[in-house]
Every structure is written in structure tokens, then in C-alpha cells.
Amino acid sequence: MDGKAQILQQPLIKIPPTFFNLYFIFVSLPKKNHTHHPLLQEKRFALSLIDWYQQGHRALPWRATHDPYKIWLAEIILQQTRVVQGMPYYNAFITQYPTLHDLAAASETEVLRTWQGLGYYSRARNLHTCARLIVDKQEGVFPNDYKGLLQLPGIGPYTAAAIASIAFREAVPVVDGNVLRVLARIFGITSPINSSQGKAVIQEIAQQLISIPTPDVYNQAIMEFGAVQCTPQKPACDTCIFHADCIAYQTQQVEILPKKDAKVKIKKRYFHYLVLQLGDKLLMKKRPKGDIWQGLYDFYLVEADKPYAAKQLSDELLTLVHQHQLEIVKYPWEAKHILTHRVIYASFFHISLPTTFMEVVAPLLQQYAMEAVTMEAIQSLPKSVLICKFLNAHM
């Protein structure tokens, strides 16, 4: 018997049906083109997703409107923020600034105070700047297309797509963290989603998926799907309407996808705050441009390369304090405050300033724009969460 006959007489291996499904998917996908996935045929993915969404989704106030102001406000608030955390802020802004003109008429300090505690304060400053620009330059009317929205300060591709599609029904896809995760898993995208290649593939698929008559509903549906079904941790794959076609699920890569390039190194910073008291007032200053918490108020700050005792710190004000033998009392409270790419280690020191000392130190305090503020007035100033926690604990 020759070799060919021997091979033909070997028992057949039973191949599970799932294999053929995956084989079809992988064979039909060119190496750099994922748009031949079976879910893309005859709009299967989009239509199934919209049906899933319409059967039951979270009732959120910005979903019940096509007002670009409210949609814009919600999308800015929800950047880097969970819905449960962002909802009170959305309601507060709508109550305090019910229209774009109301927001534009407010001061930056008022806007920052309303935003206080939400973090990423550049969002609030851009929100205010954008509102004023639309009122001053465009008669209070939002651009009604994606390209026009992109020209506004603080509005990037994602926010522009959300407003354009939901408010004006323009067929432009939103691509946020939820969408990236959903598409990377279902379509088996192994390129890092924060790489240029990964972004290009995702964008290509996203654009094809949204070519339907209801881009507003579709975009909200895919964001909802990523938020409640295809979650970052422990996604509900067993009840997922796409698990039969999901490459990540079928190849056991759900915990691996999406992939990301290495994160930016976290920087440690050491803040030593001098809580300067003058009678019943505290001295505070507005933080300058070019650093975290721009426009928020805090105390006199000495930053160093590691934690120090007050007598070890090198600073012009502390030199004068030591020369005049003023008492420095360290608060029994230290904080570790985590930001996106930084960790702040903060300690606080109390110094009571006599009137005679103020005559000596006044020029230095003016240089740093320090203001004497009552505790009542401090409550209305915009402050970082770190400063709020300190005040709540000790004042």
C-alpha cells in the first residue's frame, strides 16, 4: 500500500462547527483589512446592535434630546468620567446654565467652581471658552456638521462626531474607549488601539458600520453596548448577541483585546503646602497656566524632589519665617492624590502670621498673588479635590 493510500485510511478528525465559522472569518480578512467580517454583510452588526439597544437601555437625559448644547455638555463631562459620577455635574450645569448664552455669560471662576471635583479641569476651561466663542462669533449657533464642530476649542474628533451624529444625524462614527474595545474584540484587531495602525483599522470599520439611515441611534447604541455589555473587566460574553461571531470570544482573547502600547511613565511630585493664617483668614492663590489645576485655588506651595520637614525645605518665605522664629506646625494629615500621569504626595504646614511680619513679607506674597480669604469665601472658590479634602478635615 503506498503512502497516499495510508493517508486516506487514517480516521477523520472531527472538527467543531465553531472552527468553520472562525476559518471563514480569518480567511476572508486580508492582513490589513478587517472589513470582510461576516457581521459587516448586509449591515448585520449595525441592525442587530440597534435592535439590542431599543429593547432596553439606560434612560439618560442627553439621549432624549437633539439639542447640540446639551449633547456637547454631556459628552465633555463624560470624557474620562463614568456616567454615575458625571450625572450630578450634568444636572448642575443644566440647572445653573440652562442655555449656551448662560454658560458664556458666567465667569471662569464660576464655571470651575461648578466643575469642582470632576477633575481634568482643562475640560471646564475649554467648555467656557467654546461657549463664549460660539456666542460671540457664531451668534450662539453650533456648527451643524462634523468639520465645522472640529474647529471649536476643546472639541476633538470624538466629541465632534457625537454632536454631529446625534444632534444633526450626520453619518460620522464616534470612537471612544467603549467603541474601541467593542470593535477590537469583535473584529479581532490585534494592533494596539493607541497606535496609528490600530486607530486606522478601527476608524475604517467604524465608518463602514455607521453607513445607515439612523447614525444617531447607532452611535448611542455602540457606546451603550461597550458600557454595559462588552465591559473592560468581566464582559457578559455568555449573553452577548455577537459571541458567535466575536473573534476575541471564539479565540479566547477577550482578556487580551484590545491591546495598548506601553503607558506613559507615572511622575511623582511632592507638594508641601504652607497654610498661612492671618487672623480669621487664610492666604490662597490661583494656580497659574502651564501646570495641573490651572485656575483653581490652593495655598502657598513649595515643591521638592521628595518629602521634607519644614526646616529642610529651601524657600524664600520659609527663610523669613525661620528668621522671625514663627511657629510651624505640621498637620497630622498627608495625602496621596492620583492623577492620570502623576501621583501627588502632599503635606500641609500651618503658620500664623503676625501683623508685624506681614510688613516684611508683603512684597513676596504680592509676587505670588496671595489673597487673604475668609472661610466663607473659600467655599465659593474653585479648588482641587486635594485641597477640598484638607479643608474638610481641618477647617
pLDDT at residue 4, rounded to an integer: 37
pLDDT at residue 255, rounded to an integer: 93
Q: What domains can be seen in the chain, in order of their start residue?
A: 22-250 (1.10.340.30), 267-394 (3.90.79.10)
Q: What is the tens place of the pLDDT at every residue in 12-66?
A: 334 444 444 444 444 334 344 455 677 777 688 999 999 999 998 999 999 999 9
Is 204 a known active-site residue? no
Q: Which three cell numbers stand for residue 115?
A: 466643575
Which pairs from 247-255 meet CB under 8 Å and 24+ separation?
247/22, 247/25, 247/185, 247/186, 247/187, 247/188, 248/184, 248/185, 248/186, 248/188, 249/185, 250/18, 250/21, 250/22, 251/22, 251/188, 253/185, 253/188, 254/185
What is the residue-averaged pLDDT of the chain? 88
pTM of the model: 0.76
pLDDT at residue 29, rounded to an integer: 41
Question: What is the rounded distance in angstroms from the CA atom of residue 82 to the CA atom of residue 73?
Answer: 14
Q: What is the tens place of the pLDDT at every residue in 151-178?
A: 999 999 999 999 999 999 999 999 999 9
- Candidates 75, 204, 303, 371; catalytic one: 75
Residue written as grid cell 461648578: 114
Task: Report whether 255 contacts 285 (CB < 8 A).
Answer: no
3-state secondary structure of 17: helix
The alpha carbon torsion through 192, 194, 199, 202 (nearest 10 deg) reads 60
Return the number of other C-beta atoms located less than 10 Å from residue 362's C-beta. Answer: 11
* Model confidence at 294: pLDDT above 70: yes
